Amino acid sequence: MNLLDSENTGAGVAFSFEVAQSTSPKDPKVKGLGGLNLDQINGPGRDFNDRIARLASSLRGRIVRAEDDDYDALRTIVPANYDGHPLAVIRVADAADIAAVFHFARITGVEVAVRSGGHSGHSSSDGIVVDLRDLNDLDIDQSTRTAWAGTGLTAGEVTRALEKHGLVVGFGDTASVGIGGITVGGGIGYLVRKHGLTIDSVLAAEVVTATGDILMVDSEHHPDLFWALRGGGGNFGVVTRWKYRLHPLSAFTGGPLVLPATPEIISRFVELADAAPDELSAIASVMPAPPPPFLPSDAHGKLVFFCMMAFAGEPAAAERALAPFRALAAPIADLVAPGPYSSLYMPEDPDQRPAFSVRSRLLDRLGVTEAATIVERIEQSGAPMRLGEIRVLGGAMGRVPSHATAFAHRSSRVMCSFIAVYMDPREQALHDRWAADGIAALSEEEDRVYVNFLLTDPAERIRAAYAPDTWDRLMLVKRRYDPGNLLRRNRNVPPQ
């Protein structure tokens, strides 16, 4: 996430809290940056250790280095594919800390990675890591149905806090994902048909730009940046706080419906989900059945169609909407029931760090031929866990004009992903090739992809995440807010 307000400010610290019009005083000791004098960092004879010690003395947050006891715990991210050993992990305490770190990085030339939930390989680096997890305030206004949420919060933390008030924001399908990363990419989850993408609930954001300006952006203030932050990925500034529109959720029904994994059932499921009321969203996977007690012991290891169903509405309406899916075949398991929305987040083992290989594509249709390809590819994989994941889109997501945000592929009806999960990172090339070949065999359609699922793809595939006019506009915004490409440890949009 990154941005810049006007010109390069050099070694001066620029600070502006933007509501109507930004100002950028070039005082090296601006209040709010802890009295940091960047001339002290940039002075003659300074080595990196000396410079970072001086940076540490200016921050409200904490700098963690290899000699610290918690260094390994804090540098580690979720995918085992990535094992960066940063020169420093900087646990920032506020936006001013981030601004100071950015100036430090510009002076020293060190690579910057930004981490919140840590599910992306781009949140690891051998340079410095800006760790946002302490930016975790949550201010809920029930009267206006809005909330300001610190970007270090996870989807699970925000969801559980909101549901106590009968309110919700749609994120993804994993509780431990940071809200910052999922929001800048778009956010395709269990409420995508009812309330659209996560970005469709964003009203404003506080952003630290690549040159250290601190801006409040919305549809009236820095609208170009506000547009780019909603779907353009981590290219235009670090968002420290998001303002979300909250949605009432008086009742919810959800959980797994497990069906036989035949091409006919899979393709018919997609048809039904596409025609279902907006209140119903589904994320389904062709996968080996998990062990008991979740599923019967005689199903363990066999391919099943594991369908996570989510209905935002009253139980009677949910039963009517779910009936056609239950009639597809005798369920292997049916655990769909009324309950809290947060119950859809599957349990996670924090002590396990598997490696992942992922390839994904947005499609206009998924019929029986494509379903047969998915089943065949899952049978051919040797990964301990492999999934052919299907997310049925449409509904509210598709009703937002494609030019309204940087998420450009809103007319897509289905997102399909091949995902391999394994324990030995040395196997990545094998599983990457399996996933890539699966996507290539799936469709002859134009290549389109969701930027947050560009996890192990070649860097150049980012062009498939955006229509040509969207890409051109993103490069213009990048040139204005980060002309030096300081924030390049991401799915990078270069300055034009």
pLDDT digits (tens, 9 = 90+) for 143-173: 999 999 999 999 999 999 999 999 999 999 9
Is the same domain home to 293 and 334?
Answer: yes
Among residues 358, 225, 354, 351, the alpha carbon closest in space to that of 285 is found at 358
Q: Name the DSSP class of 474.
A: H
> Which residues constitute the domain of residue 213?
138-248
> Which of 377-381, 487-491, 492-496 is the least confident region?
492-496
Task: Identify residue 253 by its one-letter amino acid code.
Answer: T
Is the same domain home to 286 and 382?
Answer: yes
At residue 60 the predicted structure's pLDDT band, cuts being 50, 70 and 90, is: very high
How far apart (Å, rounded) are the C-alpha atoms in residues 406 and 264?
Answer: 35
User: Is residue 495 in some structural domain?
Assistant: no
pLDDT at site 298? 84
pLDDT at site 17? 27
**Higher pLDDT residue, 17 or 281?**
281
> Which of 209-218, 323-332, 381-390, 441-450 is the least confident region?
441-450
Q: Mapping DSSP to helix (H, G, I), strand (E, B) and coil, where does residue 228 land?
A: helix
How far apart (Å, rounded) are the C-alpha atoms in residues 1 and 217?
Answer: 13
Structurally, how many domains does the chain consist of? 3
Among 103, 131, 159, give the residue marking a domain's end. Answer: 131
pLDDT at site 299? 85
Among residues 170, 162, 184, the alpha carbon closest in space to that of 452 is found at 184
Average of pLDDT values for 97-113? 95
Across the chain, mean pLDDT equals: 90
**Higher pLDDT residue, 34 or 454?**
454
- Is it the case that residue 209 has pLDDT exceeding 70? yes
Average of pLDDT values for 264-289? 98
| Cβ atoms within 10 Å of 473's Cβ, excluding its own | 21
DSSP element (H, E) containing 99: helix 95-108
Is the same domain home to 204 and 315?
Answer: no
pLDDT at site 349? 86
pTM of this prediction exceeds 0.75: yes
Average of pLDDT values for 14-28? 30
How far apart (Å, rounded) are the C-alpha atoms in residues 296 and 421?
Answer: 23
Is the same domain home to 186 and 231?
Answer: yes
Query: Is 491 within 8 Å of 452 (Cβ atoms)?
Result: no
Among residues 187, 153, 157, the alpha carbon closest in space to that of 173 is found at 187
Percent of the chain's residues with pLDDT above 90: 84
Among 215, 248, 281, give the residue marking a domain's end. Answer: 248
pLDDT at site 336? 98
| Cβ atoms within 10 Å of 74's Cβ, excluding its own | 18
How far apart (Å, rounded) are the C-alpha atoms in residues 10 and 8?
Answer: 6
User: Is residue 2 in some structural domain?
Assistant: no
Tokens of 322: 């779910």
Task: Identify residue 107 by its one-letter amino acid code.
Answer: I
Among residues 108, 291, 94, 254, the alpha carbon closest in space to that of 170 is found at 254
Is the same domain home to 342 and 417?
Answer: yes
Is the same domain home to 227 and 282?
Answer: no
User: Is residue 483 in some structural domain?
Assistant: no
Is the same domain home to 258 and 158?
Answer: no
Is the same domain home to 317 and 424?
Answer: yes
pLDDT at site 220? 97
Average of pLDDT values for 174-202? 97
Four-CA torsion 369, 374, 377, 379, nearest 10 degrees: -110
How far apart (Å, rounded) are the C-alpha atoms in residues 206 and 265?
Answer: 46
Q: Mapping DSSP to helix (H, G, I), strand (E, B) and coil, where does residue 39 land?
A: helix
User: Is residue 342 in some structural domain?
Assistant: yes
**How, if at all, do strands 128-131 and 112-115 pair?**
parallel
Tokens of 327: 């009639």
At residue 36 the predicted structure's pLDDT band, cuts being 50, 70 and 90, is: very low
Quick check: bond before 315 cis, omega within 30? no
Q: Mapping DSSP to helix (H, G, I), strand (E, B) and coil, where does residue 259 land?
A: strand
Is the same domain home to 280 and 422?
Answer: yes
At residue 396 the predicted structure's pLDDT band, cuts being 50, 70 and 90, is: very high
pLDDT at site 211? 86
Phi/psi zone of residue 265: left (φ > 0), alpha (ψ -120 to 50 degrees), beta? alpha
Average of pLDDT values for 333-359? 93
Is the same domain home to 155 and 126?
Answer: no
How far apart (Å, rounded) are the C-alpha atoms in residues 442 and 371?
Answer: 9
**Higher pLDDT residue, 260 or 35?**
260
